[in-house]
Each structure stands twice: as structure tokens, then as C-alpha cells.
Structure 1
Amino acid sequence: MFTIDLIKTKLLMDNLRKILFLIPIAFLSFSCEEEVDDMVDDNDDDDDNSVNIVEMTIDNSGASAYFVSEINGNEEVTTTNEDNSTWELTVGTRYVLTVTGASSHPFALRDSENNILLSMNSVDGSFEEDSDVDFQASGTSFNFTLTQALAGELDNYVCTVHLGMTGSITVN
């Protein structure tokens, strides 16, 4: 009887060893599967053609300054509510600006020699027909995508009626 108990104990121990051996393998198998799924999901993002969009509301302090009162999106373009603040824009981002008081304060982007690149009023900017920039202006709306070419020229923003309403632009 003692021998039978010893045999049962040995069989039980062998089975227990097999189970203990298989637990880490099963765990690793499931862990690897999740990592592969995560890698596949991450790779899917590379095929995503979505554009980063940043929306900004541009207000004015009379005829002396523009200021950004609101920014929606994942970029901190500038300090809000600061007159004629410096903006930091990112290549590839689509900027959707709402310019309050646009009829009295038409907004424009210029190069370092103050040539108009994009403009809300009747002045034609040199990048307005660039399909990659996809410039659109209507009423209080001023929308564009910052391309590498536009970024290479961009230096400042301005009110085309009140030239003191201007601020610098830097590009990432």
C-alpha cells in the first residue's frame, strides 16, 4: 500500500511539474499575441492620412494689436490674450483661424520682406494658389496647411489695414 501511495505521489508530482512548466509558456504565448496586436495597431497609424488640425480665434485690441483668445488642438501655438504674440507653427498642420473683426482687420501672412503669402483681402498672396497649402478665406475664416515651402518663406502675420497689428512666426 505504501508503494501505491508512493507511485500516486510520484505521478501527481510529475503532472504538477508539467503544469508548472506549461503555465509560463501559456502566459508568454498570450503576452506575445497582445504585443503583436499592438504592433499591428501601431503600424495601422502609419497608413493614416489624417491631418493635424489646430483651430485658433484671433481677436484684436482696437487697431493696435491682434491676440489669440482661444486655441483648440494639440499645439500650443502661442500665449493666449497677449498682444501681437509670437506664434510657433508646425509643418504639416492645418490651421483654421477665425478672425473676429475681419472686415475691419483683414489678416495676412508675410515673408521677411513683408511680401504677402496668404491674405484675407483682395491682395493676392504668392501661396494662395498652391494646392498643398489649400488656402481658403471667406468672411472671418482663414484656413491653410503649413507646407515646407510655405514654412521656408513665412515670417510674420499682419493686419493689411493697420500695419502695427503684427507679430512674428517661427516654424517647427
Structure 2
Amino acid sequence: MEQKTRLYPIGIQTFSEIRNKSYLYIDKTEYVYRMTHSASKYMFLSRPRRFGKSLLTSTLAAYFEGRKDLFKGLALERLETEWTEYPVLRFDMSLGKHMDKEELERYLLWQLKGMERNFGIKSETPDTNTRLTDLIRLAYEQTGRQVVVLIDEYDAPLL
């Protein structure tokens, strides 16, 4: 049997792209399972730059979206028995660098608008906190499932 050479996913931070294009992936999904089945309601993960935070966030999103196909052959495939699909709100703050408060507010509203569109929600509320709260509530009401909020590059606006 011929073994296929796999490329390193240099610069690729999306779990689905790594899995779908057969890049080399070191299976850490057992840790994802442990994290998601702990008693913690909230988790804050702080790791050094270039340490895989965005890939982990992408992996968590795929898991909570119930994308079982992406985990074929990985530890999580054998550990998870339910594969429940949750509504996922994923905020990417990587473009939030060098923004003042007003620009950051507009950037957050832009992301919220895209997520609202995914749930068929129209909102004109200018306040990001109210809008996020409404989005979480309405996504929960639509699906009957807890809403997962993932924030990637949380520190970018601080830079």
C-alpha cells in the first residue's frame, strides 16, 4: 500500500480545510472532548502567539456544529456518541487591530449582522451588547439548544 505524503498546513488555521485537503494533522481532539465535557460553563484559553488558538477555535466550531465527517479517524469520532448540533456564534477579532472604539463597534455590528442573517434575524439595534443578547436568545429559541459563543483573536483590539 502506497502511503500518501501529507503537507504541513503552514498558515492554515481552519480545521475543515486541513481535514478536507488531507494536510498533516496531529490529533488533539481528545482534549477537545475533555474540555467540552467538563463542568465548566465558560472557558478562557490564553496561549502564546502562533500556538494554535485559531485552529482550536475552528475545531471547536466544527465540533459544536456537529460536523462528524471532519473527525473521521480522530479520537473525537470514537469518544463522542451524540453529535448534537448547536448554534455557534464565532467572532473573529483578528481584523480588530488598530481600531478606535467607534471602528471596533462597527466591526462587531458587522459580524453580528452576518450571524443574524444566518438565523434569519433582522435587527437595527445600534447597541452591540443588546444585539448580541438578542441574537443569543433568538438562536436559542429557534433551535432549543444552548448557544456556543467562540471568540478568536480576543486580544487583537488591545494591540
The answer, yes or no, to whether TM exceeds 0.5 is no
**Normalized against structure 1, the TM-score is what?**
0.20
Higher relative contact order (CA 8 A, sep 6+): 2
Structure with greater strand percent: 1
**Normalized against structure 2, the TM-score is what?**
0.21
Bigger CA radius of gyration: 1
Structure with greater helix percent: 2
